[in-house]
Amino acid sequence: MSDKSKTREQILDAAMNRIKHYGYGKTTMSEIARDCDMSAGNIYRFFASKLDIAEAMARKFNSDLYQTYSEISRSDAPPAQRLRQVFHYGLDQTFDAIEREAKILEVAEVLGEERPLFMNEGLAQERIYLCTILEDGIERGDFAPIADCNYTAEMIQSALMKYRFPQLFSRLTLPKLRRELNGVLDIIIAGLAKGIEKTPETEH
Protein backbone atom coordinates (compact mmCIF):
# COMPACT_ATOMS: atom_id res chain seq x y z
CA MET A 1 0.00 0.00 0.00
CA SER A 2 2.68 2.44 1.04
CA ASP A 3 4.70 0.97 -1.79
CA LYS A 4 2.02 1.83 -4.28
CA SER A 5 1.55 5.38 -3.08
CA LYS A 6 5.32 5.83 -3.00
CA THR A 7 5.55 4.98 -6.68
CA ARG A 8 2.63 7.26 -7.39
CA GLU A 9 4.48 10.03 -5.67
CA GLN A 10 7.60 9.32 -7.69
CA ILE A 11 5.69 9.46 -10.96
CA LEU A 12 3.99 12.67 -9.95
CA ASP A 13 7.30 14.17 -8.98
CA ALA A 14 8.96 13.25 -12.25
CA ALA A 15 5.97 14.51 -14.19
CA MET A 16 5.94 17.82 -12.32
CA ASN A 17 9.61 18.43 -13.02
CA ARG A 18 9.13 17.87 -16.71
CA ILE A 19 5.81 19.66 -17.05
CA LYS A 20 7.04 22.71 -15.16
CA HIS A 21 9.97 22.94 -17.52
CA TYR A 22 8.65 21.77 -20.86
CA GLY A 23 4.89 22.16 -20.44
CA TYR A 24 2.03 19.70 -20.39
CA GLY A 25 1.83 19.20 -24.14
CA LYS A 26 5.54 18.67 -24.59
CA THR A 27 5.87 16.15 -21.81
CA THR A 28 5.27 12.57 -22.90
CA MET A 29 4.26 9.59 -20.84
CA SER A 30 7.33 7.64 -21.92
CA GLU A 31 9.61 10.44 -20.79
CA ILE A 32 7.99 10.42 -17.38
CA ALA A 33 8.27 6.64 -17.35
CA ARG A 34 11.95 6.73 -18.32
CA ASP A 35 12.66 9.13 -15.45
CA CYS A 36 11.12 6.55 -13.15
CA ASP A 37 12.83 3.55 -14.80
CA MET A 38 9.59 1.97 -15.82
CA SER A 39 7.48 1.49 -18.93
CA ALA A 40 4.91 4.01 -20.04
CA GLY A 41 2.22 1.38 -19.67
CA ASN A 42 3.03 0.95 -16.02
CA ILE A 43 2.14 4.56 -15.24
CA TYR A 44 -1.46 3.62 -15.95
CA ARG A 45 -1.54 1.42 -12.89
CA PHE A 46 -1.06 4.61 -10.88
CA PHE A 47 -2.81 7.27 -12.93
CA ALA A 48 -5.83 6.67 -15.13
CA SER A 49 -4.62 9.19 -17.71
CA LYS A 50 -2.15 11.95 -18.39
CA LEU A 51 -4.85 14.44 -17.47
CA ASP A 52 -5.08 12.88 -14.04
CA ILE A 53 -1.42 13.60 -13.52
CA ALA A 54 -2.07 17.27 -14.28
CA GLU A 55 -4.99 17.18 -11.89
CA ALA A 56 -2.86 15.64 -9.16
CA MET A 57 -0.31 18.37 -9.77
CA ALA A 58 -2.94 21.08 -9.36
CA ARG A 59 -4.35 19.31 -6.33
CA LYS A 60 -0.94 19.49 -4.71
CA PHE A 61 -0.63 23.18 -5.48
CA ASN A 62 -4.12 23.78 -4.12
CA SER A 63 -3.55 21.87 -0.93
CA ASP A 64 -0.70 24.24 -0.12
CA LEU A 65 -3.03 27.15 -0.73
CA TYR A 66 -5.77 25.63 1.38
CA GLN A 67 -3.34 25.04 4.22
CA THR A 68 -2.65 28.77 4.33
CA TYR A 69 -6.29 29.70 3.75
CA SER A 70 -7.21 27.55 6.71
CA GLU A 71 -4.65 29.28 8.92
CA ILE A 72 -5.71 32.72 7.78
CA SER A 73 -9.40 31.96 8.24
CA ARG A 74 -8.75 30.87 11.82
CA SER A 75 -6.46 33.74 12.77
CA ASP A 76 -7.68 36.45 15.12
CA ALA A 77 -7.03 39.32 12.73
CA PRO A 78 -10.08 41.40 11.77
CA PRO A 79 -12.25 39.41 9.35
CA ALA A 80 -11.94 42.07 6.66
CA GLN A 81 -8.19 41.76 6.81
CA ARG A 82 -8.39 37.98 6.67
CA LEU A 83 -10.49 38.24 3.53
CA ARG A 84 -7.81 40.41 1.99
CA GLN A 85 -5.08 38.04 3.07
CA VAL A 86 -6.76 35.04 1.49
CA PHE A 87 -7.14 36.63 -1.92
CA HIS A 88 -3.80 38.40 -1.89
CA TYR A 89 -2.08 35.21 -0.90
CA GLY A 90 -3.83 33.36 -3.70
CA LEU A 91 -2.93 36.05 -6.21
CA ASP A 92 0.70 36.24 -5.14
CA GLN A 93 1.16 32.49 -5.10
CA THR A 94 -0.36 31.81 -8.49
CA PHE A 95 1.28 34.82 -10.07
CA ASP A 96 4.69 33.82 -8.73
CA ALA A 97 4.22 30.20 -9.72
CA ILE A 98 3.33 31.17 -13.26
CA GLU A 99 6.08 33.77 -13.36
CA ARG A 100 8.67 31.24 -12.27
CA GLU A 101 7.37 28.39 -14.40
CA ALA A 102 5.38 29.85 -17.26
CA LYS A 103 4.31 26.36 -18.30
CA ILE A 104 2.06 26.07 -15.26
CA LEU A 105 -0.37 28.37 -17.03
CA GLU A 106 -0.80 25.67 -19.65
CA VAL A 107 -1.77 23.18 -16.97
CA ALA A 108 -4.38 25.62 -15.69
CA GLU A 109 -5.73 26.12 -19.20
CA VAL A 110 -5.91 22.41 -19.95
CA LEU A 111 -7.64 21.64 -16.66
CA GLY A 112 -10.04 24.52 -17.08
CA GLU A 113 -10.97 23.15 -20.47
CA GLU A 114 -10.96 19.41 -19.81
CA ARG A 115 -11.84 19.21 -16.13
CA PRO A 116 -14.23 22.04 -15.35
CA LEU A 117 -15.60 20.07 -12.41
CA PHE A 118 -12.23 19.99 -10.75
CA MET A 119 -12.12 23.77 -10.90
CA ASN A 120 -15.54 23.94 -9.28
CA GLU A 121 -14.35 21.61 -6.57
CA GLY A 122 -11.53 24.01 -5.79
CA LEU A 123 -13.90 26.95 -5.64
CA ALA A 124 -16.19 25.04 -3.30
CA GLN A 125 -13.28 24.23 -1.03
CA GLU A 126 -12.20 27.84 -0.98
CA ARG A 127 -15.73 28.88 -0.07
CA ILE A 128 -15.51 26.87 3.12
CA TYR A 129 -12.74 29.14 4.33
CA LEU A 130 -14.53 32.23 3.11
CA CYS A 131 -17.64 31.21 5.01
CA THR A 132 -15.64 30.78 8.19
CA ILE A 133 -14.37 34.32 7.83
CA LEU A 134 -17.79 35.72 6.92
CA GLU A 135 -19.51 34.02 9.82
CA ASP A 136 -16.85 35.17 12.22
CA GLY A 137 -17.15 38.68 10.85
CA ILE A 138 -20.89 38.64 11.41
CA GLU A 139 -20.48 37.32 14.92
CA ARG A 140 -18.01 40.06 15.76
CA GLY A 141 -20.32 42.65 14.29
CA ASP A 142 -17.83 43.69 11.61
CA PHE A 143 -20.14 42.41 8.90
CA ALA A 144 -23.88 42.74 8.73
CA PRO A 145 -25.89 39.50 8.93
CA ILE A 146 -26.16 37.52 5.70
CA ALA A 147 -28.93 35.22 4.52
CA ASP A 148 -26.73 32.62 2.87
CA CYS A 149 -23.02 32.65 3.57
CA ASN A 150 -22.11 30.24 0.81
CA TYR A 151 -24.00 32.29 -1.72
CA THR A 152 -22.23 35.44 -0.66
CA ALA A 153 -18.90 33.65 -0.84
CA GLU A 154 -19.79 32.59 -4.36
CA MET A 155 -20.52 36.17 -5.35
CA ILE A 156 -17.23 37.32 -3.89
CA GLN A 157 -15.47 34.65 -5.90
CA SER A 158 -17.25 35.80 -9.04
CA ALA A 159 -16.16 39.38 -8.49
CA LEU A 160 -12.56 38.30 -7.95
CA MET A 161 -12.34 35.72 -10.73
CA LYS A 162 -9.95 37.91 -12.66
CA TYR A 163 -7.31 37.50 -9.96
CA ARG A 164 -7.45 33.73 -9.84
CA PHE A 165 -5.28 33.00 -12.85
CA PRO A 166 -4.14 36.53 -13.48
CA GLN A 167 -2.02 35.85 -16.53
CA LEU A 168 -4.95 34.08 -18.16
CA PHE A 169 -7.28 37.07 -18.21
CA SER A 170 -4.99 40.05 -18.61
CA ARG A 171 -1.39 41.04 -18.99
CA LEU A 172 -1.21 43.32 -16.01
CA THR A 173 1.82 43.35 -13.76
CA LEU A 174 1.57 42.06 -10.21
CA PRO A 175 1.55 45.55 -8.66
CA LYS A 176 -1.29 46.62 -10.92
CA LEU A 177 -3.20 43.45 -10.15
CA ARG A 178 -2.69 43.95 -6.43
CA ARG A 179 -3.90 47.52 -6.71
CA GLU A 180 -7.04 46.38 -8.53
CA LEU A 181 -7.65 43.50 -6.17
CA ASN A 182 -7.39 45.89 -3.27
CA GLY A 183 -9.80 48.31 -4.88
CA VAL A 184 -12.40 45.65 -5.53
CA LEU A 185 -11.94 44.28 -2.03
CA ASP A 186 -12.47 47.78 -0.63
CA ILE A 187 -15.90 47.83 -2.21
CA ILE A 188 -16.77 44.28 -1.20
CA ILE A 189 -15.73 44.81 2.40
CA ALA A 190 -17.70 48.03 2.61
CA GLY A 191 -20.67 46.13 1.23
CA LEU A 192 -20.31 43.35 3.77
CA ALA A 193 -20.09 45.91 6.57
CA LYS A 194 -23.19 47.70 5.35
CA GLY A 195 -25.30 44.68 4.76
CA ILE A 196 -26.47 43.43 1.39
CA GLU A 197 -29.99 44.04 0.24
CA LYS A 198 -31.18 41.71 -2.43
CA THR A 199 -33.16 43.43 -5.12
CA PRO A 200 -36.35 41.83 -6.36
CA GLU A 201 -36.34 42.68 -10.05
CA THR A 202 -34.30 44.52 -12.63
CA GLU A 203 -35.87 45.59 -15.86
CA HIS A 204 -34.87 48.33 -18.21
Which residues bind to DNA, rule: CB under 7 A?
Answer: 7, 25-30, 37-42, 44-45, 48-51
The one-letter amino acid code at 1 reads: M
Interacting stretch for a copy of itself, rule CB under 8 A, among 21-29, 38-46, 49-57, 183-191?
183-191
Figure out which of the listed residues 2, 117, 175, 202 binds a copy of itself, where binding follows CB under 8 A: 202
Given DNA, a copy of itself, none, residue 97, with its beta carbon under 5 to 8 Å by kind, binds none
**Residues 17-56, mask of contacts with a copy of itself (x by CB under 8 A):** ----------------------------------------
Figure out which of the listed residues 51, 123, 149, 193 binds a copy of itself, where binding follows CB under 8 A: 193
Give me the least distance between CB of 51 and DNA, in Å please: 6
Task: Report d(CA 132, CA 17) in Å as an integer.
Answer: 35
For residue 46, which of 119, 103, 38, 21 has the smallest C-alpha distance?
38
| Residue placing its CB nearer to DNA in the complex, 48 or 102 | 48
| Residue placing its CB nearer to DNA in the complex, 43 or 83 | 43
Residue numbers at the binding site for a copy of itself (CB under 8 A)? 68, 72, 80-81, 84-85, 88-89, 116, 151-152, 154-156, 158-162, 169, 171, 180, 182-199, 202, 204
